[in-house]
Structure 1
């Protein structure tokens, strides 16, 4: 190709073509292998390209396809790239080499184990938020920061940078704004909707936004989405909080610390949730929401995310140091993480537990109620200065009087209405091989079992526990009910249970049942 042809290929617009391919938010574009621009510019698979469409610009990764896949003169877009550029079918776009991303030098510095300053961390977060990083580069940043390789100063800088990018809420009429967060790792620990309902019924302002599950079978946003609309615009979220004093929304659409959502997507794929990233994730969203006083629930147990008291104390200290540097008031409480809380695991099953506690039903799981009351009491104690016993009693009165249930319904109505909990299409009982006493259950493998059944992608999927630690169990007694949306997912999860029966540990054990009776 001569110089004239080369210049023509650079200026030649391509026409947008929607491929209909979901890439889990990673922006991808597709060009034919015989495309003149690809030949002239030397574009090959995995080349980073800058795409301009009107006033919008996107950096995307190139995939090349056979000429039969795309019409001549077209460039294909993944769903996320199409939405980001707000394209229409056939719209003219231009293609260029991606500009140099200078913050990648800071990323390489961190990969080699060096400490980053505030400016370097800010530049990385800014460029990630502008979609200048590929998924591989984001994964490199997350991995380089894992395993305690972010010190408190770096974590503070990361938190501040993440909070300052995106929307921010301000509440000048309220001197103190409250929030609560659980670091996770304990299936069924869905206390947030109950705590928020109690505390806001007592008059506290709680702009609660939650992430979806990272490594668990349900996050608060996943569970609340079963019951009401959680994808609120910033304006709608303000109206809900002004009307009810609280919200129970997903953080994604609101745009509070949006870079955190980009990081979480890769953390989920890597199954990583490191201390520094965790602290930055939590506190950046709280800062962006305008919160000043934050309660952190930290479950500790041999199969929880925090496996020892020492590990919890290290994380709590990091929370305190970073919060103090950012002008936030944080209280960390360490709670029992030795077994699943409540009876449900998975969005719909956890929603059932939440409703049963708020409605003061006789069958409500006592451990979920007690834990929610304790945490609500801690928040009320932070707010009023009352001793913990008095604050706990206030929380109990608000729940048992029905005020919390009235407040929860008001929040749901403000967000779009309260929905019925769906029922899974398929289920099976998971039975014990032995008679004995339940000594323990493995939180991590129970969570994995629920995920294999389809949670949280299928809200109805998950588990309903039929026994608790300390209960006596008979041979063939159901230990749990497994729910799934498809027979294939049900069979896949059931097979995992049969290979991991020790996730329910019974003692003393008798002889196992014959294979025909299992």
Structure 2
């Protein structure tokens, strides 16, 4: 029988993100007896829970004899505390890793095979390296439509699922991203739920962008809702604006997103499965998908957008979700703010009908609202657009947003960044292009989304006339180091703003 070794737990207080890590002394008798070494995968058991963790070997002075250290996520997963006992064993071979290797060598995976991989990932059995291998093998267009359908279903099945027995149709919307400042979701949710649609919106945090909807909404209210809270809020208001990662809806998705962020990957199949699994798990029956297209957006050509829209529709249909893909202009950033707090300022100004509100964000939100209303009512886009405009202009959408915020727990005061830097134009002319990708990168280097007040605020957009010395944007950061690092990137990597002096 395999030996079962028991040691006393020390909370190391180390954040290893979502990868559980165990720390053992280099002279530990168990390591020597069992042949454990750095990066070994070990099975930990405590309080009736089991977890697979990666071993880190530390110098002897770091831990007392007979103790084992655990990272924060390991402590949380095992529901253990300082001084508790944990049993340590070898980890059985994960047979699903052979399926990852199968995909690496270019072979298609079936539903059962993908389900086995996703189940092991969602149960924290994969190391970060193994997850990265799976994501890399699936990147680009390496998943066919049958694999994407299988991946979507597996991601739904590995978590909880919301049900709405009192409603036949549940609505949702999503933007695939790649367009800085395009924070339409809170405005759309407010408009269409004011019209009576049920829209329990759960959103992800940023993957490769300076902010996700959950990051932005967290600057305004509580987004870490439990399933019961989501059902209560939706029962009271017809909508919610919550973080999906906190309620175990498609939990594998958040584990994959964390590695995607590190690799700066957002593959086609994973993108579709990520979006649709969250919609299906939230109980949605109808969804509008915003696909921005532009030279520096995530999707660069109409042909690519058409292919993606077709895949969304086919996968959605196979999974019981009615989807409508809307291909939109992705040639320029949207609104003025980029980063959680600055995007929140734009949202509030649109909902309150302020004169300084960004009109491009307002118009995009109205257009997407019209598509959702048309899916629900079938009155045609023009009539639905008029209805959306009326709900925004008469203040009903703003009242609805306030109801949602109150129901979710509290409202917050938006903070101001400690450091602000105005960057001037180096010439006079007309702004003819803005590089979305590098603009997003600039905001991230300034600290967004991890520092909510960080990012930037645009003073111009495509089509703006500028004079030499006039501010192009204000960079916002929480430290001088981030400010200087971001501006070094801005000056050393070619123009983000193209200014045509002859126009």
Counterpart position of 1:3? none
Query: Where do 1:277-296 residues align within 5 Å?
Result: 277-296=270-289
Q: Deviations over 1:41-83 (max 9, x none)?
A: 0000010000011201100010101110001101111111111
- CA distances 1:185-231 after superposition (whole Å, capped 9, x unpaired): 00000000000000000000001000000000000000000000000
**Which residue among 447, 471, 474 is the counterpart of 2:467?**
474
Please show how residues 451-470 of structure 1 align to structure 2 within 5 Å. 451-470=444-463
- Using the alignment, how far apart are the partners of 1:328 and 1:92 within structure 2? 46
2:77 is the counterpart of 1:84 = yes
Q: How much has 1:11 moved relative to structure 2?
A: 3.8
SS of the counterpart of 1:23? coil
Aligned to 2:381: 388
Tell me the equivalent position of 2:206: 213
1:418 maps to which of 405, 411, 426:
411
Give the aligned partner of residue 332 of structure 2.
Answer: 339
Under a length normalisation based on structure 1, what TM-score does the superposition of the two structures give?
0.96
Partner residue of 1:320? 313
Q: Distance in 1 between matches of 2:485 and 2:436?
A: 19
1:34 aligns with one of 17, 27, 30: 27
Q: Hey, what's the Cα distance between the residues in 2 that align with 1:213 and 1:322? A: 24
Alignment of 1:363-378 (within 5 A): 363-378=356-371
For 1:95 and 1:20, the matched residues in 2 are separated by: 20
Cα shift at 1:509:
6.4
8 Å CA contact retained: 2:427, 2:501: no
SS of structure 1 residue aligned to 2:61: coil
Q: CA deviation at 1:500?
A: 3.6
Equivalent residue, structure 1, for 2:152: 159
- Could you tell me whether the CA contact under 8 Å between 1:185 and 1:444 is conserved in 2? yes
The separation in 2 between residues aligned to 1:409 and 1:65, in whole angstroms, is 51
Partner of 2:86: 93
Rounded Cα–Cα distance in structure 1 between residues aligned with 2:477 and 2:502: 30
> Helix, strand or coil for the counterpart of 2:249?
coil
Aligned residue for 2:100? 107
- Deviates further, 346-355 or 129-138: 129-138
Equivalent residues of 1:434, 1:509 under 8 A apart: no
Deviation, 1:90, is 1.1
Secondary structure, aligned partner of 1:290:
coil
2:39 paired residue number? 46
CA distance in 1, matches of 2:307, 2:379: 28
SS in 2 for 1:13: strand
**Separation of aligned partners in 2, 1:116 and 1:166:** 21
Alignment of 1:49-448 (within 5 A): 49-448=42-441
The residue that corresponds to 2:13 in the other structure is 20
1:321-358 deviations in Å (ceiling 9; x for gaps)? 10111111000000000000000000000000000000
Bigger shift: residues 214-223 or 159-168: 159-168
Offset at residue 501 of structure 1 (A): 5.2
What's the secondary structure of 2:33's corresponding residue?
helix
Match among 481, 488, 497 for residue 488 of structure 1: 481
Please list every run of at least 4 consecutive aligned residues from structure 1 whose deviation after the TM superposition is greater than 6 angstroms.
Answer: none
CA distance in 2, matches of 1:410, 1:334: 31
Matching residue within 471, 477, 490 for 1:497: 490
**In the alignment, is the contact (CA less than 8 A) between 1:346 and 1:462 conserved in 2?**
yes
Q: Measure the CA separation in 2 of the matches of 1:23 and 1:277.
A: 24
Aligned residues of 1:424 and 1:484 also touching (Cα < 8 A): yes
Secondary structure of residue in 2 paired with 1:68: helix
Cα deviations by residue, 1:441-473 (Å, 9 ceiling, x for unpaired): 000000000000000000000110001211111
Alpha-carbon contact 2:47-2:79 (below 8 Å) kept = no
Contact in 2 for aligned 1:170/1:289 (Cα 8 Å): yes
Q: TM-score, normalised by structure 2?
A: 0.99
**Does structure 2 retain, via aligned residues, the 8 Å contact 1:437–1:506?**
yes
- What is the CA RMSD across the aligned residues, in angstroms? 1.1
Q: Take 1:162 and 1:397, find their aligned partners in 2: how far apart are those partners? A: 39
Give distance in 2, aligned partners of 1:365 and 1:236.
32
Aligned mates of 1:384, 1:11 — CA distance in 2: 62
* Partner of residue 516, structure 1: none
Structure 1 CA distance, aligned partners of 2:459 and 2:90?
A: 58
| Contact 2:424–2:472 (Cα < 8 Å) also in 1 | yes
Deviations 1:464-492 (A, max 9, x none): 00012111110010000000011111111
Is residue 19–residue 124 contact of structure 2 (8 Å, CA) maintained in 1?
no
Secondary structure, counterpart of 1:489 in structure 2: helix
Structure 2 segments unaligned to the other structure (5+ residues): none
Q: Would you say the 8 A contact 2:335–2:360 is kept in 1?
A: yes
How many residue pairs match? The answer is 503
Shift of residue 12, structure 1, vs aligned partner: 3.8
C-alpha spacing 1:15/1:320, structure 2 compared with 1 (3 Å) = same
